[in-house]
Chains A and B, each alone.
Chain A
Amino acid sequence: MEEIIRLEGITKYFPGVVANDNVSLTIYKGEIHAIVGENGAGKSTLMKIIYGLYKPDKGEIYINGKKVNINSPKIAISYGIGMVHQHFMLIPPFTVIENIILGSEVKNGISLNFKKAEETLNDIINSLGFKIDLYEKVENLSVGEAQRVEILKLLYRRAEILILDEPTAVLAPQEVEELFSILRKLSSQGKTIIFISHKLNEVLNISDRVSVMRRGKLVNTVNTKETNKFELAQMMVGREVFLKVDKAKREKGEEIFRVEDIWVRGRKGLDVVKGVSFNIREGEILGIAGVEGNGQSELIEAIVGLLPLKKGKILFKNKDITLERIRQRRLYFGHIPEDRHKRGLILDFSVAENCILGLHYFDRFSKGIFIDYSKVYKHANEIVEKYQVKTPSIKIPIRNLSGGNQQKIVLGRELSFSPDFLIAAQPTRGLDIGATEFVHQLLVDLRNQGKAVLLVSADLDEILNLSDRILVMYNGEIVGSFSQSEVDEKELGYYMTGVKKQTELKEALI
């Protein structure tokens, strides 16, 4: 096998951490090479070094055996390296073709020559066997299509080495399959693909070889055929990992929460939740699966009171709370918002202050109109201790904590008034395996204590692992309802993409 990229002793320091510690790695031409590791393991940093966004403090990069100095993406592109970033680098109001040619325009005098670019692109698109309207605006595309635009951007610039940073994080299972089929075709055309992920099933499915990173170091590189999920997980975390959570079987309990025929109008004036009904009983986790943007966020916002209901009823323990204000409603349930930075925390407030957001007026935290900080600190210390939050002090801005520790503070706060119902939206997004395990165990513990949990997640493994019942949302409606045992990932995928729809939702209201 012919080597295409060789890294030797790459080291990169960030203030206070070694992001890459003496990493050496060889990548062969035409292979699909997966790089796995937890958040903060240094995968993205390493890729950004190859792509010229970061300068390594030590180490050398060789391309086709020649030592190179990659100072900017422009130079990386000239060596045939292209990168699809985790957050797409697209310009939504521009058309597909404008996004692709930007920076490498073909001109006809002073005007843009779209015809010429179109010919080049059609050749590429045909060879990969998918369809896309080059003159459609990117803002109208699905996530999967937008990702193809990103890949086309690289191929249009004649990239030979494609780096994809967590490309499946935002895709539905069927879209993942389509992406993989494109990647396999590219690999058969001789392109080299570096695939960053922490989803082990996918890595095992698509890659030829896997490199595992942990705390900035390259732990090992193995042939995919000769390894398995458990071995990889162990290498990633450095200890044995429990990928499944044990749940005791439970009897059907009392109803805690119910929504009836909820309609919500979105911010753009269109209905985004259309007649959703379900209930949750004590001692169960109800999971809502779905590709993001199908009304899940608005559903949650309507339940907690951030968006007005157009129609429908919300009942907590048989009491109609539809018209109650947020402050009242807040006491019925804990809420882990999907975007903890935007809705869950105030990043520049201290850890302790974040522990009482929305609860600040409680008698136990205040003296008249003043906040009683000694009580607040006591409360914060309790949360930090109970949930094993790693923080040097409760008085520092919460911004300085890792995602996992921030999420533990949100959880601790929301459970501190012992609600019987917890709404958890994307509760493990961006968390590493350790923190994810912690959150999963906590949700299952709540369930086992007889509380009700509403879990909304784009991560199907999470939904399938934790839920007792599963609903699928597509285009603002519940299109499928299942008990945990009767469904698998692939089947859910059909409902998530609108291919299948149940006429009778027998598991939504029980």
Chain B
Amino acid sequence: MLETIFAWETLTSAIRMATPLAYASLGGVFSERSGVVNIALEGIMLFGAFFAAVGTYFFKNPLIGVLFSIIAGTIIAFIHAVVSIKFKVNQIVSGTALNMLAAGGTTFLSRLIFKAAGSSPHIEGFTPIDIPIISKIPGIGLIFSDLSPLIILMLVIVFMSQYILYKTAFGLRLRAVGENPQAADTLGVNVYKYRYIGVLISGILGGIGGAFLSLEHARVFVENMTGGRGFIALAAMIFGNWKPIGSLGACLLFGLAEALRMRLEGVGIPTQFIQMIPYILTMLVLAGAVGKSTPPSADGVPYEKEEI
């Protein structure tokens, strides 16, 4: 059993499992840094996964699939943004409604379009890439070979986001409206604009995260295939203290848990217990992280402009 766990394959599989989480988690960072709680990420991922499959299936091109997932994610995020920013509806309620819409909607559309219950036909994802030279090193090279371009893109976006959030005027303003929108407003920063941008970015990223699941991971769309990953991504965001690199770290941890789950199936422990691993880890991590990590002060609080 130990050889099963301590293998390079566990790490490559952890990174693969972490990737969709990292996209969604990063989306959560942008949304919540701007002050909008986005539990609709679960639904956004599911829509992303579904439309990536649709795009790829009909155009025979995974790039179109990803584009579809981005559009779908953005539309759902836009609904969430309008409802929670403009109409100031409770953001948890809005998110929950969208998640239910996603669960039912994608199942319905899937059966309508693919004419089959349960899952879509097989789809072709991206051609994997080997990183030159490093991938040839025995052992560790395994991590750098056979990589999905979406994994590389994820890493680029995470580090870029860290820079954008902390070193640019855009990032400063986005974080400001999530901390103290009134202060930002008095300095002429358009609170609503930055909140819309934050939520829409979460739609784009959540959509790509979903696309990874159907295109790269399963090579098929399965009904409700996100299985709570949107929520695990939010847990990672909290554990990562609402920071891009921190969230990535947390996602790798959760990815590792999922990798272990897969590798441990069939070693004799009842699978029900094995399958609990990622979720139990989520709970443990959250129990430990809450109170220690600090959310943006105005996270989840609609902004009411003082105007009489």
Q: Are B183 and A111 in contact (CB under 8 A)?
A: no
What are the residues of chain B within 8 A of A99 when measuring CB–CB? 183
In whole angstroms, what is the CA distance A103 to B190 when docked? 9
Closest residue of B by beta carbon distance from A12? B308
Q: Are B182 and A102 in contact (CB under 8 A)?
A: no
Question: Given the interface contacts A14-B308, A102-B176, does A111 sit within 8 Å of B185 by beta carbon?
Answer: no
B16 at the interface (CB under 8 A from A): no
- Interface membership of chain A positions 76-91, coded 1 if the CB is closer than 8 angstroms to chain B and 0 otherwise: 0100000101000111
Question: Given the interface contacts A102-B173, A103-B189, does A90 sit within 8 Å of B168 by beta carbon?
Answer: no
B180 at the interface (CB under 8 A from A): yes
Taking each of A83, A93, A103, which has the highest tally of chain B beta carbons within 10 Å of its own beta carbon?
A103
Q: Are B169 and A90 in contact (CB under 8 A)?
A: no
Q: Are A54 and B308 in contact (CB under 8 A)?
A: yes
Question: Given the interface contacts A105-B169, A112-B167, A112-B168, does A73 sit within 8 Å of B188 by beta carbon?
Answer: yes
A interface, over-half SS: loop
Q: Are B184 and A102 in contact (CB under 8 A)?
A: yes
What are the residues of chain B within 8 A of A89 when measuring CB–CB? 180, 182-183, 186-187
CB distance from A477 to the nearest CB of B (A): 28
Question: Given the interface contacts A105-B169, A112-B169, does A91 sit within 8 Å of B183 by beta carbon?
Answer: yes
- Interface membership of chain B positions 198-238, coded 1 if the CB is closer than 8 angstroms to chain A and 0 otherwise: 00000000000000000000000000000000000000000
In whole angstroms, what is the CA distance A404 to B63 when docked? 66
A353 at the interface (CB under 8 A from B): no
Q: Are A102 and B187 in contact (CB under 8 A)?
A: yes
Question: Given the interface contacts A53-B306, A73-B186, A103-B173, does A91 sit within 8 Å of B168 by beta carbon?
Answer: no
Closest residue of A by beta carbon distance from B171? A112
A94 at the interface (CB under 8 A from B): yes
B287 at the interface (CB under 8 A from A): no
- Interface membership of chain A positions 30-74, coded 1 if the CB is closer than 8 angstroms to chain B and 0 otherwise: 000000000000000000000001100000000000000000111
Q: Are B183 and A90 in contact (CB under 8 A)?
A: yes
In whole angstroms, what is the CA distance A474 to B186 when docked? 34
Our pick among A83, A90, A103 for the contact of B188 (Cβ within 8 Å) is: A103
Q: Are A73 and B185 in contact (CB under 8 A)?
A: yes
In whole angstroms, what is the CA distance A73 to B191 when docked? 14
B294 at the interface (CB under 8 A from A): yes
A153 at the interface (CB under 8 A from B): yes
In whole angstroms, what is the CA distance A94 to B172 when docked? 9
Q: Are A102 and B172 in contact (CB under 8 A)?
A: yes
Q: Are A112 and B187 in contact (CB under 8 A)?
A: no
B179 at the interface (CB under 8 A from A): yes
In whole angstroms, what is the CA distance A104 to B172 when docked? 11
In whole angstroms, what is the CA distance A291 to B182 when docked? 26
In whole angstroms, what is the CA distance A103 to B294 when docked? 24
- Interface membership of chain A positions 98-120, coded 1 if the CB is closer than 8 angstroms to chain B and 0 otherwise: 11011111010011100000000
In whole angstroms, what is the CA distance A85 to B167 when docked? 28
In whole angstroms, what is the CA distance A98 to B170 when docked? 12
Q: Are B184 and A111 in contact (CB under 8 A)?
A: no
In whole angstroms, what is the CA distance A266 to B20 when docked? 41
Q: Are B168 and A110 in contact (CB under 8 A)?
A: yes
In whole angstroms, what is the CA distance A54 to B308 when docked? 7
- A343-393: which residues lie under 8 A (CB-CB) from chain B? none
Closest residue of B by beta carbon distance from A53? B306
Q: 9 shortest A-B CB distances, which residue pairs? A: A103-B187, A89-B183, A105-B169, A74-B188, A91-B179, A91-B180, A103-B189, A103-B188, A111-B167
Binding site for B on A (CB under 8 A): 14, 53-54, 72-74, 77, 83, 85, 89-94, 98-99, 101-105, 107, 110-112, 153
Known: A90-B180, A91-B176, A91-B183. 10 other contacts (CB 8 A): A54-B308, A73-B188, A90-B183, A91-B180, A92-B297, A102-B187, A102-B189, A107-B168, A110-B169, A112-B168
Cβ contacts A to B, 7 pairs, < 8 Å: A53-B306, A102-B172, A102-B189, A103-B188, A104-B187, A105-B169, A112-B167
